[in-house]
A and B are shown apart, each in its own frame.
Chain A
Amino acid sequence: MAGIKLSAVKKTYPGSSEPAVKGVDLDIQDGEFVVLVGPSGCGKSTLLRMIAGLETISAGEIVIGDKVVNTMEPAERDIAMVFQNYALYPHMSVRQNLSYGLKNRKMARSEIDRRIEETAAILQIGDYLERKPRALSGGQRQRVAMGRAIVRDPAAFLFDEPLSNLDAKLRLHMRGEIKHLHNRLRTTSVYVTHDQLEAMTLADRLVVLNNGLIEQVGRPLDLYQKPASTFVAGFLGAPAMNLMEAEVAEGALMLGGAALAGGLQARPGRVTAGIRPEAIRLRAEPGNFRLDYVEELGGTRIVHGHIGAQRMIAQTDLATELSDEMTAELPGAELHFFHAETGQRL
């Protein structure tokens, strides 16, 4: 086991003018589960593949354990990777898939067998050890792919969107299993996903990437409660945080000439104000909120509407009565304020 330390890591692909990763500093503790999350093309995979040694590092330094690995081959880095398409060797049985990496490292036959038994028991893949990958379902392949990583007992696991090929239900299930597995094995893990829910639930620490740079790092709940920028605010949470161009004047939040909330400590001036849908309190009496449509989630409701010209999404419980004209109350303590130009938290 080992920690991973990235210092000013950059990556420019040959032939492209803009770097894919523009200088990332990240200190991953031993045993930590870190999730890299961000929109498509933000450089998550690139960063992970640089840690794995599958891409060269254009600038900066990557340390795994106490060794600088910049020029090391993937095999020498003592990491295991789970690929999005699983990358199981199609011509080998599950057992051979698991033992391939161990045999290449000249491990004793008895030790290989012992590890395979152990891994098969952990992942419940013992029943199909002799099958070829094509005779397995998507979920089973996924398990084998994880098994191939676990059996190696590496310093770190690297996952590149390992669940994105599964259907929603299985994804949820495997998400739970990965979490469970990590609690049991405590192997340093770096996990890439663009699914913010997956990111929130799995991560000890969440890294939000945007356009090749780290936008914010922290515990999932901290990021959720105190997003450092409008980007993070909009990215985490579903439905996303309501963001509005507004003005703070005399301790009140002014939107289109009407005061939305009062008693604020915020500095006067133009701001981007944000509020989570679940923080908005809706009442049935006619007021500032015009209801457009409602999405029923079963346990809760997502209410889409407008305050003046501003679109607003609220989440309510089933007890709240709905009508076309409602009153939305925005508690001052639940408001987030961001710089109107830079989008940084104020």
Chain B
Amino acid sequence: MLRAGLFPFPPFGFPMQTKRTTFRSYWLPYLLIAPQLAITLIFFIWPAGQAVWQSFLQEDAFGLSTKFVGLRNYVKLLNSPEYLASFETTVIFTVCTAGLSLGLALLFAVAVDRMIRTASAYTTFILWPYAVAPAIAGVLWWFMFNPSVGVLTYALQTMGYDWNHRLSGTDAMILVVLASSWKQISYNFLFFLAGLQSIPQSLREAAAIDGAGPVKRFFTVVFPLLSPTTFFLLVVNINYTMFDTFSTIDASTAGGPGQSTTILVYKVYEDGYKGLDLGSSAAQSVILMGIVMVLTFIQFRYIERRVQY
């Protein structure tokens, strides 16, 4: 989705080189970007335009007639308690998932960074698979939390907690948050580790001589220097949790029980494909598109002015 480019910027504000090519022919540059332009038009702009158009229409229950209703779909949405509840669910889900995956990834990255700095270089290579493995292991969560055969369900039961994400909304939310963060940790981890590695050792040493203990050093020197990485990851993670977690939710809770894990993206699907209310579904898509645009704007705005020290 928005994950444009793997390395959007180096953690330290190195000046980016601008390479400018001058074309002699007037048409050549347009010819060269034509394929990209065509793909964008056919697979992006066209459906987006359709969605916008669709959001102004309303079909009758049998799909026989369609009429133009203006902004009524939007008004209905914003007055619908279900939609607003889904908004709230999305916010809770996003904050928890992004917080958990960023927090854990940072914790792991700091631990590994320390190890790499103190131990010999080959630890690095040993650790790469560990960084990648969680993504593969993500699927284990389903089995572990399965209400009838799951290991963790059983463990929780023996501790007196009756886990059932098919009945309890809270349990369901915890499950999707865990599963979604788990998948994202490795990605965040790699970025945090790269960011930590690019902070010169002498800065930490200077801070140590300046009387800052390890914790203070982290919060006053290391973490502020990581802030470009952290901000970038925050935007990426918000995007991920809002849009890329569809399959996770569909496979584990299907938005339930009730509406408890129906985030905005899932609601688009539910109302459109299950409820067949195409007008409302389209309006929801347009709102999501708007959110994506705002996030993208913030991200690029920030990256433009990324040198904040």
Interface residues of chain A, those whose CB is within 8 Å of chain B, are 14-15, 52-54, 73-75, 79-81, 83-85, 87-92, 100-101, 104-105, 132, 134, 148, 152
Instruction: Flag if B209 contacts A74 (CB, 8 Å).
Output: yes
Residues on A with C-beta less than 8 A from B205 are 52, 54, 74, 81, 83, 87
Residues on B with C-beta less than 8 A from A14 are 120
Instruction: Flag if B210 contacts A85 (CB, 8 Å).
Output: no
A194 to B210, CA, bound (A): 26
B222 to chain A, nearest CB (A): 10
A104 to B215, CA, bound (A): 12
Return the contact of A104 from the options B200, B212, B308 (Cβ within 8 A).
Answer: B212
Extra A-B contacts (18), CB below 8 Å, given A54-B209, A83-B205: A53-B208, A54-B205, A54-B208, A74-B209, A75-B210, A75-B212, A75-B213, A79-B209, A89-B207, A89-B221, A90-B309, A91-B309, A100-B210, A100-B220, A101-B209, A101-B211, A104-B210, A104-B212
A84 to B201, CA, bound (A): 12
Residues on B with C-beta less than 8 A from A100 are 207, 210, 212, 220
Instruction: Flag if B203 contacts A80 (CB, 8 Å).
Output: no
7 closest A-B pairs by CB: A101-B210, A104-B211, A87-B202, A91-B309, A75-B211, A87-B206, A74-B209
Please classify the interface of chain A as helix (H, G, I), strand (E, B), loop, or mixed, using the class held by over half of its residues. Answer: loop
A89 to B12, CA, bound (A): 12
**Contacts known (A89-B221, A91-B225, A100-B220); A81 close to B209, Cβ less than 8 A:** yes
Count of inter-chain pairs, beta carbons less than 8 A: 69
Query: Among B200, B210, B220, which residue has the most Cβ atoms of chain A within 10 A?
Result: B210
Instruction: Flag if B13 contacts A134 (CB, 8 Å).
Output: yes
Instruction: Flag if B211 contacts A81 (CB, 8 Å).
Output: no
Return the contact of B206 from the options A53, A83, A91 (Cβ within 8 A).
Answer: A83
**Contacts known (A15-B120, A89-B221); A83 close to B202, Cβ less than 8 A:** yes
B216 within 8 A of A: yes
Residues on A with C-beta less than 8 A from B206 are 81, 83, 87-89, 148
B224 within 8 A of A: yes
Residues on A with C-beta less than 8 A from B216 are 104
Return the contact of B309 from the options A53, A132, A152 (Cβ within 8 A).
Answer: A132
Query: Among A15, A54, A90, A101, which residue has the most Cβ atoms of chain B within 10 A?
Result: A90
Return the contact of A90 from the options B209, B220, B225 (Cβ within 8 A).
Answer: B225
Instruction: Flag if A87 contacts B220 (CB, 8 Å).
Output: no
Kindly report which residue of chain A lies nearest to residue B118, judged by CB atoms: A14
